[in-house]
Structure 1
């Protein structure tokens, strides 16, 4: 049997290390499931998910130049169910900092060409840079005191 990337196989966990689990595959081959490929959730300790002798279904995800077979269990597991969203209780309007369904930044780009949008962006950017430069010059004292040589 030729192993190919993407093949799904049955195997038996033969040993567990802190970085992964070794799985005996058909034809006397051995592959390794890295700790990051054990479960769809964070795995701190592999022994919480697997033990030696477990029968597992694995997917071949890589075969390197030395012939080592990298396996995954998590790619065959169903995706975890999304966490239920908690509904926020309705607040009185006075305590809410923002009204619901209000568009805070109106779409100013509707109907504009790309060139018009770039022109507007450049103009806004130039104005902001000039304002920043004015403020920075004011904080440095305008340079008149330093130019006089009196410190």
Structure 2
């Protein structure tokens, strides 16, 4: 039997690890089912679901150049359920013709402020003198340099000496 990507085959569990289960596919071929590919639900311990010697149906996901085969039990089960159910055409849900209207009983996130209650903004920029602007810039610059020095000195081990 040839093993091809996408094919569903039957195999036997030969080994279980914390990250997955090894499946013997016959013809001296073994593949791995990762723990995330065993079931759609969360599995804490693989031993709760599989035991050595179990016969399982698996779908071949990958075949690497070095011969490693990636398998999935859950995708093989999805395929089986799709085949057993008749194909149905999916009809999209009818769209609502009503426009979005905000609900009145929802809490407001602007904490009681209404757009009309905002402070009036002047259209002209505030004119400061050059001296005021320069002094505020120097103060802000000194604050930033002080915090920068404090942060870097702690990372260098103290007094700021370089290490070579």
TM class by smaller structure: 0.5 to 0.7
Corresponding residue for residue 132 of structure 2: 145
Query: 2-side partners of 1:42 and 1:71: how far apart?
Result: 18
Query: 2-side partners of 1:56 and 1:26: how far apart?
Result: 13
Corresponding residue for residue 65 of structure 1: 65
Query: 2-side partners of 1:45 and 1:146: how far apart?
Result: 66
Corresponding residue for residue 83 of structure 1: none
- Unaligned ranges ≥5, structure 1: 80-100, 106-130
Cα offset for 1:104? Answer: 2.4
Corresponding residue for residue 48 of structure 1: 48
Q: Deviations over 1:5-63 (max 9, x none)?
A: 01111111011001110011121211110111111112221111111111100000000
Matched, 1:11 2:44: no
Corresponding residue for residue 75 of structure 1: 75
Query: 1-side partners of 2:16 and 2:130: how far apart?
Result: 69
- Superposed, 1:110-121 pairs within 5 Å as none
| Aligned residues of 1:6 and 1:61 also touching (Cα < 8 A) | yes
Query: 2-side partners of 1:142 and 1:73: how far apart?
Result: 75
* CA RMSD, Structure 1 to Structure 2 (Å): 3.4
Cα offset for 1:78? Answer: 4.1
Relative distance call for 1:146 and 1:34 in structure 2 (3 A) is same
Relative distance call for 1:142 and 1:53 in structure 2 (3 A) is farther
Runs of 4+ with deviation above 4 angstroms: 141-144, 148-151
Q: How many residues are matched?
A: 99
Query: 2-side partners of 1:11 and 1:76: how far apart?
Result: 12
Matched, 1:104 2:102: yes
After TM superposition, the score normalised by the length of structure 1 is 0.55
